[in-house]
Amino acid sequence: MSFKRIIIVAVALLCYVSLHADTDIVRVRKAEGRWEVSGNVSADEAEEKALMEAKKEALRKAGIRENVWSVMGHISSTEGERFSEAYSSVSTLALNGMVNILDKKVEDVWDAKMKRLFKVVTIDAEVIRNEIKEDETFKVDVKGIEPVYKNGDIFRCSFKVYGCDSYVKVFWFTNDEAAMIYPNDYEGNQKFLAEETYTIPVTDDIEMVMEKGKPDLEVEFINVIVLATKKDYPYLGKSDFQSILSWIYKIPADQRTLHHATTVIK
C-alpha cells in the first residue's frame, strides 16, 4: 500500500465544517507594498511579492500584529514556485486576519536616487480581524520525520499532544499535490489522549511508502503538517495546499496547534 494511494483514498473522506469565531471587519485604504525588479526577480515575481507586502501593510493598518507562519522557512523556486507563492499568500494573511482585496493598483516606479525599478502595489481591502489568541499551553510534538527518504522507504512518525485531549489530522504537500493522509479510508478518526505517544500510521495494518509522484525528478520535496484541534473539525475542500491552509487558519486560534516538517524523497 503506497503512501500515494493512501492520500488519494483519504481525500474521499473529506467532509463539511462550519467554523465560528469572534470576528469583525475593518476597511483599509491605500495599503502599499513594493518590491524591486532585479536580475533574479522578474516583473511578475516583483508584483506578486509587492502584493504580499501590501497585504501585510493592510493587516498592520487594521491593527493586526504581523505574525507570518515562519516555521516553514524559505521555499525557493527550485523547490516549487507554485507552492511557495500559495504558501506565502496563506501564511501571510491567516494567523490573525484575512484580507479581501476590493481595489488594486499596480505601478512601475523608478527610484532615480537608487537607480532601481520597483513594482508598487496599492490596495483597498477589508480585513477580517479575529480577536481570539493562541493557547500557549496547547502544543503538539512530532518526532521521527526524517530529513531525507529514499524512494520506497517507509514513512512513520510519532506525536504527543500537550494541553488537552485532541483530534489529529495529517496533511501532505508537494508542489503539485496536497491531501489529508490521516484519518484515511483504513484508519478512522479518533480522539487522542493528552501526553500519550501515538504513531502515524495509527495501526500496524498499513504502511505508508514514500514514492515520488514524478519518478523522473531527482529530488521531490514533501511538506507534512500535523494538526491537533481541541474539537473535531472535519474537512471538506479541494485537494490543494491553499484550500487546506486557508481552512486550517479559519479554525479559532485557541482551538488548534500544529507542527510542520519538510523532507525530501531522493
Q: Which of 126, 152, 118 is nearest to 31 (CA)?
A: 126
Domain 3-20+134-265 has CATH 2.60.40.2550: yes
Q: Which of 146, 142, 147, 149 is nearest to 209 (CA)?
A: 149
Peptide bond into 234 cis (omega under 30): no
Domain boundaries, the chain: 3-20+134-265, 23-130
Q: Tell whether the model's pLDDT for residue 213 goes beyond 90.
A: no
Q: How confident is the model at residue 165 (pLDDT cuts 50, 70, 90)?
A: very high
pLDDT of 16: 27
CB 142 within 8 A of CB 164: no
Q: Which of 134-143, 204-213, 219-228, 233-242 shows the lowest per-residue confidence on average (mean pLDDT)?
A: 233-242
| C-alpha neighbours within 13 Å on the C-beta side of residue 226 | 21
pLDDT of 65: 60
Q: Tell whether the model's pLDDT for residue 39 goes beyond 80.
A: yes
CB 4 within 8 A of CB 213: yes
Average pLDDT over residues 81-104: 61
pLDDT of 248: 83
Average pLDDT over residues 114-128: 92
CB 175 within 8 A of CB 213: no
pLDDT of 173: 82
pLDDT of 239: 77
Q: Tell whether the model's pLDDT for residue 9 goes beyond 50.
A: no
Taking the mean position of all CA atoms in its chain, how far away is CA 242?
A: 7
pLDDT of 4: 43
Round to whole Å and give the CA distance between 229 and 243: 18
Q: How confident is the model at residue 226 (pLDDT cuts 50, 70, 90)?
A: very high
Round to whole Å and give the CA distance between 1 and 16: 27
User: Considering the chain, what is the average pLDDT of its residues?
Assistant: 80
Q: Which tops the pLDDT comparison, 212 or 191?
A: 191
Residue 191: how many other CB atoms lie within 10 Å: 10
Q: How confident is the model at residue 189 (pLDDT cuts 50, 70, 90)?
A: very high
pLDDT of 251: 85
CB 207 within 8 A of CB 186: no
Q: Is the dihedral of CA 99, 97, 228, 165 positive or negative?
A: negative
Q: How confident is the model at residue 240 (pLDDT cuts 50, 70, 90)?
A: confident
Average pLDDT over residues 191-208: 95
Average pLDDT over residues 118-122: 97
pLDDT of 82: 53
pLDDT of 249: 75
Q: Which of 195, 180, 197 is nearest to 247 (CA)?
A: 180
Give the C-alpha distances (Å, rounded to integers) separating 71 from 11, 74, 166, 171.
Answer: 26, 9, 22, 16
CB 127 within 8 A of CB 245: no
User: If residue 161 lies in a helix (H) or strand (E), which one and from where to where?
Assistant: strand 157-162
- Farthest-apart Cα atoms in the chain, separation: 66
pLDDT of 74: 36
Q: Which of 27-31, 63-67, 167-171, 221-225 shows the lowest per-residue confidence on average (mean pLDDT)?
A: 63-67
Q: How confident is the model at residue 78 (pLDDT cuts 50, 70, 90)?
A: very low
Taking the mean position of all CA atoms in its chain, how far away is CA 38?
A: 28
Alpha helices, DSSP H, located in the chain: 3-11, 43-61, 81-94, 241-248
